[in-house]
Amino acid sequence: MRNYMKLEIPSKSLNEAFARAAVGAFAAQADPTVEELADIKTSVSEAVTNSIIHGYRDTVGVIYIECEARVEKTCVIEITVRDEGVGIPDVERAMEPLFTTAPDEERSGMGFTVMQSFMDTLDVTSEKGKGTTVKMSKEINAGIGDE
């Protein structure tokens, strides 16, 4: 079985809570544990917040969120968060723990580290001036395909 959803939101910070709640509701159909669900919501919050405060720093743009649930023996939730913002010049560097380009705003530089450790896979592609795509997935142990 395969299920999916797509979401488009303007890059306003009040949408952070909405985005993680929406993805959380989608993921809930796979019957995740409390911890798995928290991991997914936190990771989505990180990716969406990055698009808002870094990608669209001086503007308001559109954030595209796509989720897919694939069920075989277990369920894999795959989430893509994409922006058409400023992009990341050096992705490898940006993903290092504690690296941030906004320390004076008390950014912790832990966003990518959180996504990396809370999800099973994380793939970041970015082009300067074009935008950033964050693709991540997590296996949920109780399947949705039981019915």
Catalytic residue positions? 46, 50, 107
Residue 65 vs 144, nearer CB to ligand ADP: 65
H/E element holding 34?
A: helix 34-50
Site mask for ligand ADP (CB under 6 A), range 38-67, x = bound: --------x---xx--xx------------
DSSP string, 36-89: HHHHHHHHHHHHHHHIIIIITTTS--EEEEEEEEEESSSEEEEEEEEE-SS--S
Question: 9, 114, 134, 144: which one contacts other proteins (CB under 8 A)?
Answer: 114
81 contributes a contact to other proteins by CB under 8 A:
no
When CB distances are held under 5 to 8 angstroms depending on the partner's kind, the choice from ligand ADP, other proteins, Mg ion, none that residue 20 binds is other proteins
Smallest gap from residue 86 Cβ to ligand ADP (A): 5
Question: Which single residue brings its beta carbon nearest to ligand ADP?
Answer: 111
What is residue 4's DSSP assignment?
Answer: E
55 contributes a contact to Mg ion by CB under 5 A:
no
Question: 7, 38, 80, 107: which one contacts ligand ADP (CB under 6 A)?
Answer: 107
What is residue 90's DSSP assignment?
Answer: -
50 contributes a contact to Mg ion by CB under 5 A:
yes
Q: Are 122 and 116 in contact (CB under 8 A)?
A: yes
31: left (phi over 0), alpha (psi -120 to 50) or beta: left
111 contributes a contact to Mg ion by CB under 5 A:
yes
Smallest gap from residue 60 Cβ to other proteins (A): 14
CA distance 132 to 93: 15
